[in-house]
Amino acid sequence: MSLEKKFILTALLMGLKFSDFRKRIIAILKGQEDAPITGLTPTPASLQTDMDELDEIFANGEALKLQQIANTEAYNAKIKKIRNVVTDKWMPTVQTACAGDVAKAKGWGFGVKGEYDGHSESPVSVTNSYPVVVDIEYNIHLQHTIRVINNTTEDVNIPKDAESLQLYETFEEANASDVKKMIHLGRVKHGKYINHFHNEELGKDVWYVLVYVSKDESISPILSTPIKAKII
C-alpha cells in the first residue's frame, strides 16, 4: 500500500543573515505582485511597509554593524513580526492556493517540505550554506552558551559533506574576518558550545565566528557572520 505524500509548505525564515532574510521576503512579496492571492491578512502592502521599516532600522544600525544589530530590540521585534505574518498568517492561505502544486509554491517564494528548500536546487553543502548563531545565553557568570543552526535547513545538523563545525573567538574586532588570526575554541556538537572565561576577561567584548570543515579537512569558504557578545 502506497502512502500519499503530503504537501507541506515551508517559509524558512529562521536564522538567516539580514541580506538572506530580506531576499526571502522580497521574493515572497514579488510572488504576490505577480500572482496575487485573495484573502491574505495582513495585506502584502502592510508587509511591504514592515519590510521598509526594517530596512530603515538596518540602515540606521550602521554604527552597530551587522554583528551587533541582532542584539537590538527593534531589529529582533520587526524580524519576529514579519516572520509571524508569513508563517502564521499567510502560509495556510498560500498552502490552500497552491493546491499541491510545487511550481506555484516556488512562484510565490515558498518552499515545499521534501521537494524544494526555497533556497537552492542543489543539496545543502558547505559551499552553499553556512552556520548561524541563533542564541547566546549569558545566565551563568563568565560563561557563554552558544547555539547554532544551519541557515538553510534551520536545524543543528551539519551538511553531509562536512566533517565538523568549528568555533573561533577573538577579542579584536579587526581579526573577526580571518579565522587564522582568531583563537580556535573547538568543535560545536549538536548545535551547542559552552565557552568559559577567566575573571580578568570580565566586561570584555568577544567576537565569535563559525565555519564548517569539509571531510577533506579544508575550511569552508563561507564563514558565519561575526557575532559580538559581552562577557558578564
**Which secondary structure element, helix H or strand E, spans residue 48, and what is its range?**
helix 44-60
Burial (CB count <10 Å: 0-12, 13-18, 19+), residue 83: middle
Pair 95, 78: CB distance under 8 Å = no
| CA-based nearest residue to 12, from 225, 116, 154 | 154
Let me know how long the chain is. Answer: 232
- CA dist 69 and 14 (Å) reads 16
**Which secondary structure element, helix H or strand E, spans residue 119, and what is its range?**
none
Q: Which residue has the cell 515551508?
A: 10
Strand ranges for 6-142 from DSSP E: 9-10, 111-112, 131-137
* 3-state secondary structure at position 9: strand
Cell numbers representing residue 127 in the block: 559551499
The pLDDT score that the predictor gives to residue 42 is 94
Question: What pTM, to 2 d.p., does this model score?
Answer: 0.53
* 3-state secondary structure at position 174: helix
Question: pLDDT in tens for each of the 232 residues of the chain?
Answer: 556 678 888 887 877 777 888 899 999 999 999 999 999 999 999 999 999 988 887 776 554 444 454 555 676 778 889 989 999 999 999 999 999 888 898 889 888 876 665 555 557 888 888 898 888 888 888 999 999 998 888 888 898 889 999 999 999 999 998 899 999 999 999 999 999 999 889 889 999 999 999 888 788 777 888 888 889 8
The pLDDT score that the predictor gives to residue 2 is 56
Residue-range domains of the chain with CATH: 9-112 (no CATH), 131-230 (2.60.40.10)
| CA-based nearest residue to 212, from 154, 146, 155, 168 | 168
Cross-strand bridge partners of residue 143: 196
* 3-state secondary structure at position 25: helix
The pLDDT score that the predictor gives to residue 118 is 59
- CA dist 118 and 116 (Å) reads 6
Angle at 137 between CA 133 and CA 139, to 5 degrees: 175
